[in-house]
Amino acid sequence: MGTVSKTPSRMCLFVLINLALMAAAAAAAGRVDPEVLARQEADRVVKLPGQPRVEFRQYSGYVNVNESHGRALFYWFFEAFNEPENKPLLLWLNGGPGCSSIGYGAAEELGPFFPMKNTRDLKFNKHTWNKAANLLFIDSPVGVGFSYTNTSSDIAQLGDKNTALDSYKFLLGWFKRFPQFKSHEFYLSGESYAGHYVPQLAEMIYDNNKKASEKEHINLKGFIIGNALMDDGTDQRGMVDYAWDHAVISDQVYHEINKKCVFNFSELNPPLACNKALNKYFEVYNLIDMYSLYAPTCPKPRKHQRTPIKGAAPKLFSKFEKWHMKPSGYDPCTTAYTEAYMNRPEVQRALHANVTNIPYRWTHCSDAINNWKDAPFSILPIIKKLISGGLRIWVYSGDTDGRIPVTSTRLTLNKLGLKTKKEWSPWYTNIQQVGGWTIEYEGLTFVTVRGAGHEVPTFKAKEALQLIRHFLLNKKLPSTPFD
């Protein structure tokens, strides 16, 4: 899709001239082959329907991760707002498992364009993270969003390990398509189940870099994860403690859970009394938004539940339907606007998406994924390994989230046993406002974002942009008020 005022012939001429200029510039710099630039240009998104005018370039399309199976992951990439040649590259992953990084991360949290209510236009996000970095989103694993496989049995084989492997293969393929970004500092980011995805992918890159050729070496420097699922025992225990401490559940329900349930890695089939107590706990979240305790709920009837995914972490809570609620945001009906926009044929054409005519509507989270082959109980051993490997690691938490609450994350990080370098202290967004709290450990920084729910950039966009800028610059958040 292009600018409607141009005729087809003028549009073709415009594209050819632009491609020629890009090729000439690259040839002069001696960096990018003209054939590679042609492939990039094929993925160039000239303009989305209803998109406001911007100066930065954007690209989207597919990278094949398994030729024989016809397996491909969909990506959406935004060059940095200014000086993309000097900015790092940041990959964002949403979790689920089975939820779209395009639908949540790009279109509702930290990308530059957001669908709106009762309009076919897009709103520009003034706190977009491509003001800090070149920004890459992928729908992972296959079966999520626009990513697909031509081998139906692939869906039944999904799990943490092959999700990490496909994402790694995607990166190798993407860097071949965009080699001008290969030397840039590369960082991973994500939220929720990306507490599994991001450290696992970081570990795969870290391990493979030790034996990779120069062509396949990835310049990974670190990762940042928010409201992240990292350890089944403490994540689940922290959810219950947080709900009681925030007056969500009664003393009776809290004491029943403590008496009947044991949150350890061996209890996969708890007694009936534990299940009954947990059902009472989850029932409360029919009334309020688990992902943001103080946000309104959408008045329009819509499907809140996803099909439970057997085998996903956390092993105990993932058996309950209420665990699979979909998140909302500031406007609790935001997901409806995104779903309507992404299912428009002209939008899919502009994004070079759905090229295989997927036989289902685009949704935020896949209902086709109902079985998960592998998920470790804890990601902490990987995090310990990568701390020792020298990667920069930050963990952040919106403090009104009931899904992976700040209580869970604090309990989880305490299990790492890291030495404290700087104790718990406030950080500031300006002269008056505390943005949250932070503690610096040996090898890891933890940050809370005050008043944010599960999807921190949705609820506290300005603070989230400040957070990611400081992480990428390896700079401490301001500990005193400032103008």
For residue 441, give the H/E element and its range: strand 434-441
Cα 123 from Cα 114, distance rounded (Å): 5
- Tokens 């094929």 locate to 42
Query: Distance between CA 314 and CA 236 in Å, rounded?
Result: 7
Residue 15 DSSP SS3: helix
Nearest to 374 by CA among 102, 159, 193, 60: 159
Taking phi over 0 as left and psi of -120 to 50 as alpha, with beta for the rest, 257 belongs to: alpha
Q: Contact 36/29 with Cβ under 8 angstroms?
A: no
Amino acid at 213: S
Nearest to 400 by CA among 282, 258, 288, 292: 292
What's the CA dihedral at 439, 200, 381, 466 to 10 degrees? Answer: 0
Beta strands in 198-278 (DSSP E): 220-226
Cβ neighbours of 193 (radius 10 Å) = 25
For residue 312, what pLDDT is reported?
73
Instruction: Supply 381's token pair.
Output: 């051993």
Helix (H) or strand (E) holding 41: helix 34-43
Catalytic annotation, residues: 192, 401, 454
What is the structure's pLDDT at 20? 47
Q: Report the distance separating Cα 63 and Cα 169, nearest Å.
A: 9
Per-residue pLDDT of the chain (483 residues; tens, 9 = 90+): 333 333 344 444 444 445 444 444 444 334 678 999 999 999 999 999 999 999 999 999 999 999 999 999 999 999 999 999 999 999 999 998 999 999 999 999 999 999 998 889 999 999 999 999 999 999 999 999 999 999 999 999 999 999 999 999 999 999 999 999 999 999 999 999 999 999 999 999 999 999 999 999 999 999 999 999 999 999 999 999 999 999 999 999 999 999 999 887 655 677 899 999 999 999 999 999 999 999 887 775 444 445 667 667 676 666 666 555 555 445 778 889 999 999 999 999 999 999 998 888 999 999 889 899 999 999 999 999 999 999 999 999 999 999 999 999 999 999 999 999 999 999 999 878 999 999 999 999 999 999 999 999 999 999 999 999 999 999 999 999 876
Strand-pairing partners, residue 92, are 137, 189
In this structure, are strands 444-449 and 134-138 parallel, antiparallel, or unpaired?
unpaired
The residue among 105, 101, 208, 217 whose CA lies nearest residue 165 is: 208
In sequence order, the 6+-apart residues with CB closer than 8 A to the CB of 220 are 186, 187, 188, 202, 205, 206, 209, 391
Predicted model pTM: 0.88
pLDDT of residue 21: 45
Cβ contact 416:444 at 8 Å: yes
Q: Which amino acid is at 387?
A: I
Residue type (1 letter), 182? K
Residue 5: left (phi > 0), alpha (psi -120 to 50), or beta?
alpha
